[in-house]
Amino acid sequence: MSNRTFTMIKPDATSKGYTGAILDQIIKAGFQVKAMKWIKLSEEQAGLFYDIHRERPFFGELVSFMSSGPIVAAILEKENAVADFRKLIGATNPAQAEEGTIRKKFAASIGENAVHGSDSDENAIIEGDFFFSKLERF
Ligand code: ATP
Ligand code: MG
């Protein structure tokens, strides 16, 4: 069990002005920000990030959505970070997300679902390394 996870606030949420409210909920839930940037991915970069989904039917849609506007990328620290963060954001499909979760409150659909959260300690490290150099994390 590691104490770090990686998140993105996705383009649907940044464009609707939810960035501040989402960060507030993350910090109030006990996560500390260890690295953060406001950045727009190219289609190629979004495709590399979601490479494990390359063969899935929604891959094209996912890559075009994730490169459609700016995102906030961040490394977060808390005890049991990966599992606790997945609980805080709720199910992939906001219609199935628990009341009070970030996706329930801020996501519109399974595709445009407001936030990303790493699904394992191993992927949290890979994803954090994708966005941040050693100089950018504390
Ligand atoms: P994320 O990895 O973004 O935190 P997740 O782990 O809950 O989400 P994954 O199965 O890893 O879900 O899917 C990655 C992303 O692909 C989802 O967050 C969503 O944006 C998109 N996605 C997943 N399933 C679908 C689908 N059926 N239709 C459209 N987009 C989808
Ligand atoms: Mg995932």
Q: What is the tens place of the pLDDT at every residue in 81-109?
A: 999 999 999 999 999 999 999 999 999 99
pTM: 0.96
- pLDDT averaged over every residue in the chain: 97
CA 98, 103, 107, 108 torsion: positive or negative?
negative
The DSSP symbol for 90 reads -
- Choose among 64, 58, 57: nearest CA to 40: 64
Range of the domain at 73: 4-136
CATH of the domain at 95: 3.30.70.141
Calpha distance 89→71 (Å, rounded): 16
Q: How far is the CA of 135 from the centre of ligand 1 (A)?
A: 30
Query: Quick check: 70 and 40 in contact, CB under 8 A?
Result: yes
Tell me what pLDDT residue 2 has. Answer: 78
Work out how many domains the chain is built from and give that number: 1
Active site residue 116: yes
Q: Which atom in ligand 1 lies closest to the alpha carbon of residue 52?
A: 11
Q: How far apart are CA 122 and CA 9, in angstroms?
A: 20
Mean pLDDT over 11-27 rounds to 98
